[in-house]
Amino acid sequence: MVKGWEFSVLLGAVAIASSAACSSTGVPATGDGGATSSCASAPTVEDTNLQTCAGCSTSATCTSEEPLEACCTWLAEPKDALADGTGLHRYSTSNTGATPDLSCLTAAPAALGTPQMVTLTGFVWAFSSGGQGPGTTGVTVEVYTENHPTSPDGSISAVPLPSTYTTSAMDPIDPVDTTWNSKCPDGCSYRQYTIDNVPTETPLVIKTSDAGSNQWTTLYDYNIYFKNSDVQNGQVTYDATAVAGADPSTVAGTVGLSVQSGMGLLAGEVHDCSDIRQFGATVETTESHQGPLLYFTEDESNPLPTFSAHDTSHLGLYGALNMQPNTPFRVTAVGEDPASPGQFLMLGTYVVQVYPDAVTALVLRGRRPWQP
């Protein structure tokens, strides 16, 4: 089963182009406010020549804090080599000696297949709060299609697919053990949803929102994609995510910030090509956000941001606060190849938008067919 984003899930590894696709000189020696030597000597990012990066642009420039350019995104240099998340309950490996799977960073993806209509089912997991008692009831789940995947602007279809679902206390609960979650030590009640007539081989966005109980924050989960080979007995599975109404403010308050009315939030997680969370990645966006890009602690049951982190923990989590809604921007991740110290790799890039008073979630799990 594919698991969805839970504010502690997002941004997996995808092969993409680096500075060579966006400029002819790579990292420039100027434009960092006087500290040009740090930019001049900064290592470049491995170029995998992803065509979707051609023509990208940004108004940002090289700085001593963000000397790496990858697909028009300026990023901080990772302080640690990439490493798999181990011993976790989701998106983890049990092999403590495993190295990150970076095979999809250079391998060409398969072409998009012919779409077929299937039934989408899974459980609605909650980020942090919301799993107790009746659990994730009163959540409306809708599916949208992305517009123009080969020329992305982050926009989605004006209306969702006709079939939607609202969870209730009558829906089955995910039987997976969740007693490790400190928010519900007796086990969380993550309710099942089912939506008919969902297309495979199509870039999708899954939206979860409040059905009238004033309990849930709206979330847009980007870059959902089901291959025809994922279909079993006419079904595909994906665990959607619901965000409790108070959770965004709780996260922002941890670092002394507040959620601004009318603005949008971004969150994600860095994975490798085998969908394992990655330690040691840096992430940035091409549009401004309040404060620095946030990285989260190692506590899987109660992840919170911290200013002391310079790259992702073993949870792979990052976030950005108070971004301008309805404006396309690119999210990019970079990591140091553990097999080649000093060599930086583009781990993922994707164009999304944020929405007023909502969370945008982004999952990248290998190169998509529309990212040649």
Q: What is the mean pLDDT of the chain?
A: 83
CB 244 within 8 A of CB 338: no
Please indicate, yes or no, if residue 177 is contained in any of the structural domains. yes
Task: Summarize the confidence of residues 351-361 as an average pLDDT.
Answer: 95
Model confidence over 294-323: pLDDT tens digits? 999 888 888 888 888 899 999 989 999 999
Model confidence over 34-72: pLDDT tens digits? 334 456 656 667 654 455 566 677 777 788 888 888 888
Q: At residue 186, does pLDDT exceed 60?
A: yes
Please indicate, yes or no, if residue 191 is contained in any of the structural domains. yes
Please indicate, yes or no, if residue 35 is contained in any of the structural domains. no
Please indicate, yes or no, if residue 218 is contained in any of the structural domains. yes
Q: Which of 94, 81, 89, 98 is nearest to 8 (CA)?
A: 89
Q: Which residues contact 178 (CB under 8 A, 6 or more apart)?
A: 131, 184, 187, 188, 190
Task: Summarize the confidence of residues 146-173 as an average pLDDT.
Answer: 91
Q: Which of 371, 359, 257 is nearest to 16 (CA)?
A: 371
Look at residue 208 and give its three-state secondary structure.
strand
Model confidence over 197-228: pLDDT tens digits? 999 999 999 999 999 989 999 999 998 999 99
Decide: residue 135, CB within 10 A, 0-12 exposed, 13-18 middle, 19+ buried.
buried
- Please give the pLDDT value at position 232: 97
pTM higher than the cut 0.75:
yes
Give me the domain span that covers residue 103. Answer: 1-10+79-331+342-367
CA 261 – CA 207 distance, rounded (Å): 20
Please indicate, yes or no, if residue 22 is contained in any of the structural domains. no
- Please give the pLDDT value at position 10: 34
Model confidence over 257-300: pLDDT tens digits? 899 999 999 999 999 888 889 999 999 999 999 999 999 988 88
Q: At residue 1, does pLDDT exceed 60?
A: no
Decide: residue 118, CB within 10 A, 0-12 exposed, 13-18 middle, 19+ buried.
buried
Tell me how many domains the chain contains: 1
Please indicate, yes or no, if residue 45 is contained in any of the structural domains. no
CA 272 – CA 366 distance, rounded (Å): 7
CA 25 – CA 130 distance, rounded (Å): 49
Please indicate, yes or no, if residue 122 is contained in any of the structural domains. yes
Please indicate, yes or no, if residue 244 is contained in any of the structural domains. yes
Six-digit token pair at 16?
A: 């993409």
Rounded to the nearest 5 percent, the helix, strand and coil shares of the chain are 5, 35, 60
Cα torsion 274, 275, 281, 287: sign = positive
Q: At residue 14, does pLDDT exceed 50?
A: no
